[in-house]
């Protein structure tokens, strides 16, 4: 398994004192959990979204990589706490504060405490494209079929 060195700026001094830096929970975890670097508990009303600081900045630097912010499955499935932007995409040249858009899609209020692990960060390879304009595509098995055209069973 390869590990990539990722530069991180600690923007919130509670990291290292009260909170551990994001880390892989198991030997083969794909994501590391991001914490809510909040000053006070946040009551997220049903349907509400909030932009929550992670207390960190990262600089991926390598254009062959990006990071995505994904929901934690327990929060998303059991409590309806998912991301207001679907998935967060972190560009390799982004150096600003890493933010998490949290959306309470549930019918109940959900409270988030400072330091709670709210989402996860996954580093991914990127292939960047150069567009080549054409008039026709070489025939393929699927052609223009999509959106369920292969059926259900």
Ligand X SMILES: O=c1ccn([C@H]2C[C@H](O)[C@@H](COP(=O)(O)OP(=O)(O)OP(=O)(O)O)O2)c(=O)[nH]1
By beta carbon distance, the residue nearest ligand X is 88
Residue among 52, 56, 88, 121 that touches ligand X (CB under 6 A): 88
Residue among 85, 115, 122, 126 that touches ligand X (CB under 6 A): 85
Question: What secondary structure letter does DSSP report for 24?
Answer: B
Cα–Cα distance list, 80 to 90, 128, 151 (Å): 23, 33, 30
Rounded Cα distance between 26 and 86, Å, is 25
Contact yes or no for 36/99 (Cβ under 8 A): no
Question: What secondary structure letter does DSSP report for 151?
Answer: -
The reply on whether position 99 binds ligand X by CB under 6 A is yes
72 is in an annotated binding site: yes
The reply on whether position 68 binds ligand X by CB under 6 A is no
N-term to C-term CA, the chain: 37
Place of tokens 């254009």: 63
Residue among 8, 25, 89, 113 that touches ligand X (CB under 6 A): 89
Residue among 11, 50, 94, 106 that touches ligand X (CB under 6 A): 94
Q: Which stretch binds ligand X (CB under 6 A): 6-14, 37-45, 96-104, 134-142?
A: 96-104
CA 145 to chain centre: 31
Q: Which stretch binds ligand X (CB under 6 A): 16-24, 33-41, 93-101, 104-112?
A: 93-101
The reply on whether position 37 binds ligand X by CB under 6 A is no
Torsion sign across C-alpha atoms 78, 54, 9, 6: positive
The reply on whether position 42 binds ligand X by CB under 6 A is no
Residue among 75, 82, 90, 118 that touches ligand X (CB under 6 A): 90
- Residues in contact with ligand X, counted by CB under 6 A, come to a total of 10
Say how many C-beta atoms besides its own lie within 10 A of residue 46's C-beta. 12
Residues lying near ligand X in the complex (CB under 6 A) are found at: 69, 85, 88-91, 94, 98-99, 101
């Amino acid at each position: 398994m390869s590990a990539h060195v990722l530069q991180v700026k600690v923007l919130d001094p509670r990291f290292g004192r009260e909170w551990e830096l994001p880390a892989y929970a198991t030997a083969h975890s794909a994501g590391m959990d991001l914490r809510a670097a909040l000053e006070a508990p946040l009551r997220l009303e049903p349907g509400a979204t909030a932009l929550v600081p992670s207390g960190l900045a990262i600089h991926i630097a390598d254009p062959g990589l990006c990071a995505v912010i994904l929901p934690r499955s327990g929060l998303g499935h059991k409590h309806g706490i998912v991301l207001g932007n679907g998935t967060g995409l972190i560009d390799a040249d982004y150096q600003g504060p890493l933010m998490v858009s949290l959306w309470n899609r549930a019918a109940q209020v959900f409270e988030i405490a400072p330091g709670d692990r709210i989402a996860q960060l996954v580093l991914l390879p990127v292939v960047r494209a150069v567009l080549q304009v054409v008039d026709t595509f070489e025939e393929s098995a699927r052609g223009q079929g999509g959106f369920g055209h292969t059926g259900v069973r």
